[in-house]
Amino acid sequence: MQKEILGIKTEYIEKGSGEIVLMLHGWGSKAELFSGIIDLCGKKYLALAPDMPGFGGSDEPPEPWDVDKYADWVLEFLKPYGPKRAILIGHSFGGRVIIKLSEKKLPFEISKIILIDSAGIKPKKSLKSKISLISYKLGRRVMSAWPFSRIWPNAVESMRKKRGSADYNAASPVMRQTLVKVVNEDLKHDLPKISAPTLLIWGTADTATPLKDAETMEKLIPDAGLVKIDGAGHYSFLEAPEYVNRVIGSFLDIK
């Protein structure tokens, strides 16, 4: 399905009826990966899963966005449905957006939250990474100056590619700047503001958002419980779909 939200062409999946269950995907992902959870939730609820701006079949935002902009976009997406209550499910970046929503005055009640390998806690920089960043900035400054920029015109871009993550290097200019805005915001201070019962589902081998993040969230969110998926990585819901669906089904009382 497709509609325009804040001037952005948006692809989304809709299935079932009843109370809304909104699913927000991770960075570089798309709603389609939630197909198993959508089928499950569609048995009892109105399952909604949009491709957020810049991902899947949806257009990019007109300018670099931060997490707050994505949260506002989610509220605009939900507005036509006029929900009084909603259940929110987020994976990785989608979880980050859900955490951001907790600090906003919402026109509906969040009845339950499920965070799967969620982002939102900014990792502390090690001494090695700090030195690497300083070296990169110094090298970029030197190689951008004349005469180095004439002798080695591609040097700065080459340095950026070597340092940048796969997500950063694969993104367009707008989405690269968006990624920088997103990952540099620490949402730990918002976790105590989450009042809804919250289920945390986490792969024990997740290296993108490590298990210690889940343990921090469980500690700071007032009503939270953690389910660990042994041996699973950052996409635990795809690596152990049957088990994750049973956990979600129990939490959302889906028979």
CA 239 to chain centre: 18
- Residue 127: the pLDDT is 45
- Residue 162: the pLDDT is 58
Please write the tens of the pLDDT for every residue from 46-66: 999 999 999 999 999 999 999
Q: Give residues with Cβ within 8 angstroms of 75, minimum separation 6.
A: 101, 104, 106, 107
pTM for this model (two decimals): 0.86
What own/partner pairs with CB < 8 Å and gap ≥ 24 does 157-163 have? 163/132, 163/136
What CA–CA distance (Å, rounded) separates 207 from 227? 17
Q: For the domain bounded by 2-122+185-251, which CATH number is listed?
A: 3.40.50.1820
Please write the tens of the pLDDT for every residue from 198-224: 999 999 999 999 999 999 999 999 999
Please write the tens of the pLDDT for every residue from 150-191: 555 665 465 555 555 676 777 899 999 999 999 999 999 999
Kindly report the average pLDDT of the chain as a whole number: 89
Query: What average pLDDT does the segment 187-196 reach?
Result: 96
Q: Is the pLDDT of residue 149 over 80?
A: no
Q: Is 252 exposed, middle or buried (0-12, 13-18, 19+ CB in 10 A)?
A: buried
Q: Is the pLDDT of residue 24 over 50?
A: yes
| Portion of the chain with pLDDT greater than 70, in percent | 84
Query: What average pLDDT does the segment 91-120 reach?
Result: 96
**Residue type present at position 165:** S
- Residue 150: the pLDDT is 58
For the record, the structure tokens of 237 come out as: 């819901």
Q: Is the pLDDT of residue 132 over 50?
A: no
Confidence band for 135, pLDDT divided at 50, 70 and 90? very low
CA 54 to chain centre: 12
Residue 218 backbone zone (phi > 0: left; psi -120 to 50: alpha; other: beta): alpha
Confidence band for 14, pLDDT divided at 50, 70 and 90? very high
Going from N- to C-terminal start, the domains of the chain cover 2-122+185-251, 127-178
Residues 185-214 as b or e (16 or more Cβ within 10 Å = b): eebeebbeebebbbbbbbbeebebbbbebb
Adjacent-strand bridge partners of 114: 89, 199
Q: Give residues with Cβ within 8 angstroms of 33, minimum separation 6.
A: 25, 91, 235, 238
For the record, the structure tokens of 221 come out as: 């969110």
Please write the tens of the pLDDT for every residue from 81-105: 999 999 999 999 999 999 999 889 9
Query: What average pLDDT does the segment 133-142 reach?
Result: 51
- Residue 126: the pLDDT is 47
